[in-house]
Amino acid sequence: MYLPGGPVAVTLRHSSRARSLRVVIHPERGVVVTMPATRAGRIDGERRATEFLGQREGWLRRHLARQATEAAVLAKRGGARDGGGIPYLGELHRVWVVPAVSGVTRSDVVHLADTRELIIHRVDRERRPNDAVLEAWLRDRARQTIDDAIARHGLALAVTPTAVTLRDPRSRWGSASRQGRLSFSWRLILAPPAALDTVVVHELAHLRVFGHGPRFWSVVAARQPDHRTWRRWLHEHATALHTALVPQPDFAPPP
């Protein structure tokens, strides 16, 4: 698609559920414009999309530039491969892959906190790639850390969830049901502890106030006064957290 500042790759799609034109700048799919699946939308969709984006070209190119910068940073880190780097508890850790010692039957990960290293000990018959081995270990750490946070903040808020699950959603870090079931993204273990605590407090607060009215936010703020800072941090670093473990094929490990 050609805009005043030059061409931009755009995917134009029509949806029967869309009620108006919507733009999403996806880290993998790029700029996606969704339009209502009406006759007018199908006939005149590209012109309308070009006009819409042209009016917002500055905003569009700023977001594309930020995504390009994030991609370059992630490529430099290398992801979950030997010599690469990933965030863990909000701090960048170097990843090393070594053969497991004789007699060990299951690949595992060792965390060296003092040197901020994650050592993947691989057994010979391991079929999982390094990022899958590391993800399994991170999920275990996330479960323990989130359970501890729930116990700590739940006691202070006088609430107890009926069930807690870990998932890998793309659009939210946590959720709560009216039945008291809570769900969290395991990727919160990659973020600073205060960010994880903010999400836990947010979902626990829903067990007292379901909805996002003033009373709800007062409950959150009483327990986590800086919740706005960490909610913004999670929003700004969402792409980096969701792609942190992706191995970068062109990465050159440090000597």
| Beta strands 108-112; 30-36: pairing state | unpaired
List, for residues 113-166, the tens digit of each pLDDT value. Answer: 999 999 999 999 999 999 999 999 999 999 999 999 999 999 999 999 999 999
CATH 3.30.2010.10, the chain: domain bounds: 85-242
**Structure tokens of 100?**
């497991």
Taking alpha carbons only, the member of 247, 48, 227, 223 closest to residue 153 is 223
Given a cut of 90, whether residue 95 has pLDDT beyond it is yes
Superfamily of domain 85-242: Metalloproteases ("zincins"), catalytic domain (3.30.2010.10)
Helices 193-205 + 214-223 axis angle, to 10: 140
Type of residue numbered 70: E
**DSSP 8-class letter at 101:** P
Taking alpha carbons only, the member of 150, 224, 234 closest to residue 187 is 234
Question: Phi-psi bin for 245: left (phi > 0), alpha (psi -120 to 50), beta?
Answer: alpha
| Spatial CB neighbours of 196, under 8 Å, sequence gap ≥ 6 | 145, 146, 149, 188, 189
List, for residues 191-247, the tens digit of each pLDDT value. Answer: 999 999 999 999 999 999 999 999 999 999 999 999 999 999 999 899 889 999 988
